[in-house]
Amino acid sequence: MSDPATFFGRIAEAYDATRDPLPEEAVDALAARLRERAGPALLEVGVGTGRVAAPLTARGLAVVGIDAARPMLARARAKGVARLLQGSAEALPFRDGAVDGVLFVHVLQLLPDAPRALSESVRVGRHGAFALLSPADPADPPCPPEDDATPLLVDALRRRGVEQPRLRNIRAWEGRFLEELPPSDLAVLFDRERTRPLTEPLESVRRLASRQFERVPPEVLLAAVAEVADRLGDRTRRVRERHVLAHWRADTLGPRRD
């Protein structure tokens, strides 16, 4: 895989069209919680195209964004996110206590050293680090294999001679991360069920905007996607959409890692 900055810089223009926006109710709850637990001055690490920074700014929060991919920052700037800079999550270019809080939105799994990034964020954020996550819940029923687009796609690629490495289950990774680095507190901001087309996970792959499949030749990938989409048809299933906000303070994480 290429490094995250290179990959996300390459897909910056397709990014918003291949990722679901946060529901308005979730953004409202996020803004209220951040205002209550941190304050109005925030740094969003991995700000990307400003999908979260822009609506938070519209709700009265003062958000500075940092990202490693310059093309993503250009998209955020076009949305009106004015205070942006390029940089690394593991070495934030800010003095201690520079902002009220530091926010990560579904980005920790992309970082080379997420624990170090958290250590940096509690140094910079006076009230600590916050991460919006959607961890797996053991109570959620698993998707039946015949309805799960991702393993079906992996199988279709294998039959075309492409051995795909083991894919990371992001929701499971987030759940393990919370177990390994327990936060000071964890709040459920949004929890609902919705009906989702079985083909929905294929959209980012079809647009060549899925990092997990970036090394597959495009013509092979698109043929496999078409096969799986045809197999799944217009069927849907009920899924749970759940967003939680984890909060770490300096005393939660212990001594900073060097």
Q: What's residue 256's pLDDT?
A: 52
pLDDT in tens, 167-203: 888 999 999 999 999 999 999 999 999 999 999 999 9
Q: For residue 156, which phi and psi values (nearest 5 degrees)?
A: -65, -35
Q: How far is CA 84 from CA 38, 146, 191, in A?
A: 20, 44, 31
The bridge status of strand 84-86 relative to strand 101-105 is: unpaired
Beta strands in the chain (DSSP E): 41-45, 62-67, 84-86, 101-105, 129-133, 185-197, 236-248
- Dmax of the chain from CA atoms? 54
Structural contact between residues 84 and 54, judged by C-beta atoms closer than 8 angstroms: no
Ranking 63-67, 141-145, 232-236 by mean pLDDT, the lowest is 141-145
Q: What's residue 140's pLDDT?
A: 82
Q: For residue 29, which phi and psi values (nearest 5 degrees)?
A: -65, -40
Residue 243 tokens read as 């967003």
For 249, residues 6+ apart whose C-beta sits below 8 A from its C-beta are 122, 127, 128, 184
Rounded Cα distance, 105 and 118, in Å: 13
Q: Nearest to residue 46, comparing CAs of 95, 96, 20, 7?
A: 7
Domain ranges of the chain: 4-139+167-193+240-253
Rounded Cα distance, 158 and 221, in Å: 11
Structural contact between residues 68 and 5, judged by C-beta atoms closer than 8 angstroms: yes
pLDDT in tens, 74-92: 999 999 999 999 999 999 9
Rounded Cα distance, 75 and 84, in Å: 11
- 161-184 core/surface letters (b: 16 or more CB in 10 A; e: else): ebebeeeeebeebbbebbeebebe
pLDDT value at 257 more than 60: no
**Strand, helix or coil at 163?**
coil
Topology annotation, domain 4-139+167-193+240-253: Rossmann fold (3.40.50)
Ranking 34-48, 103-117, 130-144 by mean pLDDT, the lowest is 130-144
Residue type (1 letter), 157:
L
Which long-range CB contacts under 8 A does 162-169 form with residues at least 24 apart? 162/216, 162/217, 162/220, 162/224, 164/212, 164/213, 164/216, 167/212, 168/109, 168/212, 169/136
Q: What's residue 251's pLDDT?
A: 85
**pLDDT range class, residue 3, cuts 50, 70, 90:** confident
pLDDT value at 219 more than 60: yes
Span 40-55, average pLDDT: 97
- Whether this prediction's pTM lies above 0.85 is answered by yes
